[in-house]
């Protein structure tokens, strides 16, 4: 996911510089805040991962 300060990498949840090799053409208006808590998102991901592990 691309945002104004860089690319948010969903594999490691880190922010890195933009890289044209990523071929990301759209940019989010949201700014990444490493201190933010995403309780609802974390719960959703926990359910999805658990669900996939059972398949």
Instruction: Give me the residue label for tokens 């940019």.
Output: 27
User: Percent of the chain having pLDDT more than 70?
Assistant: 89
Q: Are 9 and 16 in contact (CB under 8 A)?
A: yes
Q: Are 12 and 32 in contact (CB under 8 A)?
A: no
pLDDT at site 55: 44
Query: Is residue 53 predicted with pLDDT exceeding 80?
Result: no
Mean pLDDT of the chain: 81
When pLDDT is averaged across residues 6-21 and rounded to a whole number, the result is 87
DSSP for 8-43 reads: EETTTTEEE---GGG------S----TT---HHHHH
Its domain, for residue 23, covers 2-54
Domain count for the chain: 1
């Amino acid at each position: 996911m691309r945002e104004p300060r860089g690319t948010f990498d969903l594999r490691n949840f880190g922010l890195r510089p933009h890289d044209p090799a990523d071929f990301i053409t759209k940019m989010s208006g949201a700014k990444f805040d490493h201190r933010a808590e995403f309780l609802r998102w974390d719960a959703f991901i926990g359910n999805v991962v658990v669900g996939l592990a059972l398949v």
